[in-house]
Amino acid sequence: MLFLIVFPGFSALWYYFYVYRGSGSATRGFELPGAHHRKRIKELQAQIHHLDKAHHYSQLGDIYFQSAKLEQAEACYRAALERDPADVDTHAHLGQCLLRRKKPQEARPLLEGVVAENPEHEYGYSLMALAETLTALGENDAAISTWQRVTEHHSYARARVQLAQLFIGKGRKEAARRELNEVLADFPHTPAFQRKRDRVWIRRAKRLMKQAI
């Protein structure tokens, strides 16, 4: 990744020759959308059939989760935990899946357990999921405290914008403006891939800023 950033021109040239010209196939580098996932799903299903290992179920759950097939993802994560109840990553991913399936009551103990063991699990993403879970449960004070734990160590737009929204709900407009100003000031200086990922939060930040005045 660092090489791609430091030498963007050379990297583009290398990518062209390696992926397109050097493939020996007219279709390599032009994989149809979803083809990689379908191939990996079949591989994992075969491994599950023959080996029945927890990590294969968990990996399959991750693919379904990324594809927004949350019901299938939940089933895979639960199957993984039946075979390895102590796997922290599976606890975290099942918790995130349940949250997005609008089951925050079930997500909460899973995410709390993960965060208690490792507050920085997956670079703070499990802690963010816990904050979102607490918000979904209407426990806004606890959610604010959890978001602040995230923003102490990370500058995620996702965290600052949702924290600002809770501050506005509490009438703490100055605190909300501080968080939103941080997000809007940081955005132009972030890498392109991150700007693309954070656009939804930037749009929300701009809307919230009007409420925070």
pLDDT tens per residue, range 142-164: 999 999 999 999 999 999 999 99
Model pLDDT, residue 20: 36
pLDDT band at 193 (very low <50, low <70, confident <90, very high): very high
Model pLDDT, residue 118: 98
Model pLDDT, residue 6: 47
Among the listed residues 136, 133, 114, the one whose alpha carbon sits nearest the alpha carbon of residue 124: 114
Environment class of 110 (CB within 10 Å of its CB; exposed 0-12, middle 13-18, buried 19+)? buried
Over pLDDT 90: what percentage of the chain? 81
How many angstroms separate the CA atoms of 125 and 173, rounded? 26
Least confident range of 16-25, 110-119, 190-199: 16-25
Mean pLDDT (the chain) is 88
Among the listed residues 139, 78, 74, the one whose alpha carbon sits nearest the alpha carbon of residue 103: 74
Mean pLDDT over residues 5-28, rounded?
A: 42
Model pLDDT, residue 33: 53
CB 172 within 8 A of CB 140: no
pLDDT tens per residue, range 71-80: 999 999 999 9
Fill in the DSSP letter of residue 140.
H
Q: Please count the CA atoms within 13 angstroms of the CA of 143 that sit on its side-chain side.
A: 24
Using the predicted structure, report yes or no on whether residue 36 has a pLDDT greater than 80.
no
* Three-class DSSP category at 79: helix
Among the listed residues 80, 86, 79, 77, the one whose alpha carbon sits nearest the alpha carbon of residue 107: 77
Terminal-to-terminal C-alpha distance of the chain: 40
Model pLDDT, residue 34: 62
88-103 core/surface letters (b: 16 or more CB in 10 A; e: else): ebbbbbbbbbbbbeeb
Model pLDDT, residue 5: 46
Using the predicted structure, report yes or no on whether residue 14 has a pLDDT greater than 80.
no
How many angstroms separate the CA atoms of 114 and 121, rounded? 7
